Structure 1
Amino acid sequence: MNQTRYTADVVAVDPDGRVLLIQRRWEPFTGQWALPGGHVDPGETSLDAAVRELEEETGVKVAWSDLTRLGTWNAAGRDPRGRYSTDAYLVRVPAGTIARADDDAAAIRWADLATAARTSLAFDHADILRAAIRAL
């Protein structure tokens, strides 16, 4: 049985045009930079999962009502673990937002959004960043 797993990812952007990235603690892509995000738990919406994962991985708290849906990414092969479909969201955070690495994140960093979209990120996260740039 080839079950599709459901995830949510968050593009958190500050007023200076920087995006919050996490360094992955676990496989796949251990040590690579990625967007905060993760599995949608039973009973959750992807919005709920996006808010929860952002807080768990970075300590940044946002309301689901502040998230704007960017789209769904579900191309075959986007995740080496199998078939995954992710809903990606954009959220604007205030200047001076403090983030810290926690849970699945080994480290965090604020990166220039345009530069990050041109770099090699885990999964298809650079594609998601390019969609965020178009939405902004």
Structure 2
Amino acid sequence: MSTDTIPETIRYTADVVLFADRHVLLIERGWDPFKNRWALPGGHVDKGESSLDASARELFEETGITVPTADLRQVGAFDAVGRDPRGRYVTVAYTAILPALVEPTAGDDATAARWWPLADLPDLAFDHAEIVAEAVKR
């Protein structure tokens, strides 16, 4: 059997692009890949969990902010080869808009969480700049 026909292991994740007052909520990653870089809140989808439920859970775990799943809208699936240096990852990204900035509290694998002005974003980890740009269009 050719190695081209062996199924690739694909990991399933969910990310959240949370907006408020022309800002987006980002977390500073606590470990590699991209340790100390800013990224969207998100992470692995657990067994038996939907990406929608995972996005709300990860948002809360990493920032302390709760957004009901009914308020999250899907931005899309992002599956470019090489988007994650650990291997093949497919993420489903969701977005929501809060009426005002809410103070985040970093938790889980985030060493910091803060709101960044959309006009002055740092260099983001993974393909998260592309995900933010797609969410802005919606």
TM-score norm. by structure 2 comes to 0.92
Aligned residues: 132
Equivalent residue for 2:4? none
Who is 2:10 aligned against?
A: 4
Give yes or no for contact 1:37–1:50 (8 Å, CA) kept in 2.
Answer: yes
When residues 6 and 22 of structure 1 are mapped into structure 2, their CA distance, relative to the original with a 3 A threshold, is same
| Secondary structure, aligned partner of 1:69 | strand
Offset, 1:94: 2.9
Counterpart of 1:125 in structure 2 is 128
Per-residue Cα deviation, 1:80-128 (whole angstroms, up to 9, x for no partner): 0000000000011231412111111001111012432xx4210000000
Name the CA distance, whole Å, in 1 between partners of 2:75 and 2:135.
7
TM-score where L is the length of structure 1: 0.93
- C-alpha separation between the residues in 2 aligned to 1:83 and 1:131? 21
RMSD: 1.0
Residue 44 of structure 2 corresponds to residue 39 of structure 1:
yes
Aligned residue for 2:95, secondary structure, equals strand
Aligned twin of 1:86: 91
Q: Which has the larger radius of gyration?
A: 2
Unmatched 5+ stretches in structure 1: none
* Percent pairwise identity: 55
Instruction: Judge conservation of contact 1:40–1:49 (CA < 8 Å) in 2.
Output: yes
Residue ranges of structure 2 left out of the alignment (5+ in a row) = 1-6
Amino acid at match of 2:102: T
Structure 1 contact 19–113 (Cα < 8 Å) conserved: yes
Q: 1:61 aligns with which of 57, 63, 66?
A: 66
